[in-house]
């Protein structure tokens, strides 16, 4: 019996396409607090840094000992939220703090390299938000510095820690969808992508994502996470990417596209079509992998496996009509999935109890404690960043960009 069968319950349907709704049935990553106390410093207290603080506070035996930001208002807010944390305006001073044994880097992407290299030099365990860097050269510099470390260096590719994504990965790798036919992903969010600034002098720094000199656009800043999921599931990297983009909605003087589309060529006739927009939120963020025997759809909090009518049985079907198994929540095979989906009535199920960021941070802390390799190493983070950076280049130029092996290795 496959590992994912142990926590499976199913209701079945007669004929047609069926859908597995993948829910949070895997064992909790945080069933117990860390065995030893962990002292954390968070560098960068913007939106992501604040989210990190909130998730760390849910993990037992973790102390947020220090917070760092160059903007006084954000730093003051961070100190209020992380009671007892020492504030720093300079990351170098935080890294000198001997009682901080691990740091989380949540600064703007183009600042990652200098901070990551300094943290490695200081002997800290490091969790660096994705994308790893805004240039391939910077990403390679970080990956090279992280080689052979006795400390943990993890890149925040949340999909690789997400329980639903890991469960769906076992189905895909065991042949549930068989041969890959195509892939599709999207990031749809109705927002301006602008951040408030305390004064005109800080406006550019606050809105670095809209600065073409340092921003790697929607494909790089958001697509990198999703591209990594496809690369992980398909177990290969694309050979080239073609793209285009436009400023469709936010006519406010920006130079970075608010709507983009690109196609990544994985060879052997398999393509990934990806689009992102800040002008529409329909269907949010998701990834689709189409195979000859099934299709996987993932949305960070939910997942489904749609089986083709001619797909062979694989073992878990013997548990059909079982409501529980080992008293645990499991995978539900939804009857009439094709019809329900067409009517917009496909039930999502329970979903994850935590944001995917929570599981990534938990993985980081467990890797430190257990001395194991993190789900996404610096080298893997470098390759993921390279794909996002090159996709953005293709979009900006409106042409095709090769993704050769030299760009994916240190």
Cα–Cα distance for residue pair 253/251, rounded to 1 Å: 6
Evaluate whether 363 touches 190 at the Cβ level (below 8 Å).
no
Angle at 397 between CA 395 and CA 402, to 5 degrees: 75
DSSP 50-62: HHHHHHHTTSTTE
pTM: 0.89
Chain region(s) in the chain for CATH 3.30.360.10: 3-27+161-352
Interatomic CA distance for residues 320 and 307, integer angstroms: 15
Query: Residue 106, class by beta-carbon neighbours within 10 Å (0-12 exposed, 13-18 middle, 19+ buried)?
Result: buried
CATH no., domain 3-27+161-352: 3.30.360.10
Q: In 3-state terms, what secondary structure has residue 364? A: helix
Q: Residue 325: what pLDDT?
A: 29
- What value, to the nearest 5°, has the Cα angle with vertex 73 and ends 72 and 78? 95
* Contact call for residues 306 and 19 (beta carbons, < 8 A): yes
Q: What are phi and psi of 38, to 5 degrees?
A: -125, 130
CA 324 centroid distance within chain: 31
What is residue 230's predicted lDDT score, i.e. its pLDDT? 98
Q: Which CATH number fits domain 38-158+359-375: 3.40.50.720, 1.10.3720.10, 3.30.1150.10, 3.40.50.2300?
A: 3.40.50.720
* 336: its two tokens: 């009439």
What are the pLDDT tens digits along the chain (410 aa)? 333 333 333 333 333 455 566 655 444 444 456 888 899 999 999 999 999 999 999 999 999 999 999 999 999 999 999 999 999 999 999 999 999 999 999 999 999 999 999 999 999 999 999 999 999 999 999 999 999 999 999 999 999 999 889 988 988 998 989 999 999 999 999 999 998 887 877 889 999 999 999 999 999 999 999 999 999 999 999 999 999 999 999 999 999 999 999 999 999 999 999 999 999 999 999 999 999 998 899 999 888 888 888 888 766 554 433 323 234 333 443 434 445 455 555 555 556 788 999 999 999 999 999 999 999 999 999 999 999 999 999 999 999 999 999 999 99
| CA pair distance 115, 145, nearest whole angstrom | 12
pLDDT of residue 330: 36
Q: What is the pLDDT of residue 22?
A: 63
For residue 313, the model assigns a pLDDT of: 76
State whether the Cα torsion 381-382-383-389 is positive or negative. positive
DSSP 149-184: -SS-EEEE-GGGT-HHHHHHHHHHHTTSS-SEEEEE
């Amino acid at each position: 019996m496959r590992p994912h069968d142990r926590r499976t319950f199913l209701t079945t349907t007669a004929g047609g396409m069926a859908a597995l709704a993948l829910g949070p049935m895997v064992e909790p990553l945080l069933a117990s607090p860390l065995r030893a106390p962990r002292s954390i410093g968070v560098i960068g207290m913007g939106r992501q840094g604040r989210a990190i603080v909130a998730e760390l506070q849910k993990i037992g035996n973790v102390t947020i000992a220090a917070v760092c930001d160059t903007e006084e208002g954000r730093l003051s807010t961070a100190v209020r939220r992380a009671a007892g944390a020492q504030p720093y305006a300079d990351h170098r001073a935080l890294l000198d703090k001997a009682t901080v044994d691990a740091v989380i880097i949540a600064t703007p992407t183009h600042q990652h390299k200098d901070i990551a290299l300094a943290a490695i030099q200081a002997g800290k365990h490091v969790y660096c938000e994705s994308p790893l860097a805004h240039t391939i050269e910077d990403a390679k510099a970080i990956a090279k510095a992280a080689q052979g470390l006795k400390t943990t260096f993890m890149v925040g590719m949340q999909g690789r820690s997400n329980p639903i994504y890991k469960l769906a990965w076992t189905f895909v790798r065991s042949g549930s969808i068989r041969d890959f036919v195509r892939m599709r992903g999207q990031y749809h969010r109705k927002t301006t992508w602008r951040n408030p600034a305390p004064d005109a002098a800080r406006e550019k720094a606050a809105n670095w994502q809209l600065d073409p000199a340092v921003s790697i656009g929607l494909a790089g800043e958001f697509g990198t996470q999703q591209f990594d999921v496809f690369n992980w599931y398909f177990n290969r990297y694309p050979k080239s990417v073609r793209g285009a983009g436009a400023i469709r909605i936010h006519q406010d003087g920006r130079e970075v596209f608010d709507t983009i589309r690109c196609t990544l060529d994985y060879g052997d006739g398999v393509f990934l079509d990806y689009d992102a927009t800040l002008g529409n939120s329909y269907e949010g963020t998701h990834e689709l992998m189409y195979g000859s025997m099934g299709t996987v759809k993932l949305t960070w909090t939910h997942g489904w496996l749609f089986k083709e009518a001619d797909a062979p049985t694989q073992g878990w079907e013997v548990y059909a009509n079982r409501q529980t198994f080992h008293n645990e929540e499991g995978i539900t095979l939804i009857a009439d999935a094709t019809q329900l989906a067409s009517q917009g009535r496909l039930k999502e199920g329970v979903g994850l109890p935590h944001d995917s960021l929570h599981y990534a941070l938990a993985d980081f802390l467990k890797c430190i404690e257990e001395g194991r390799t993190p789900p996404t190493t610096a080298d893997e983070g470098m390759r993921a960043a390279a794909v996002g950076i090159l996709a953005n280049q293709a979009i900006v130029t409106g042409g095709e960009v090769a993704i050769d092996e030299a760009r994916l290795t240190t």
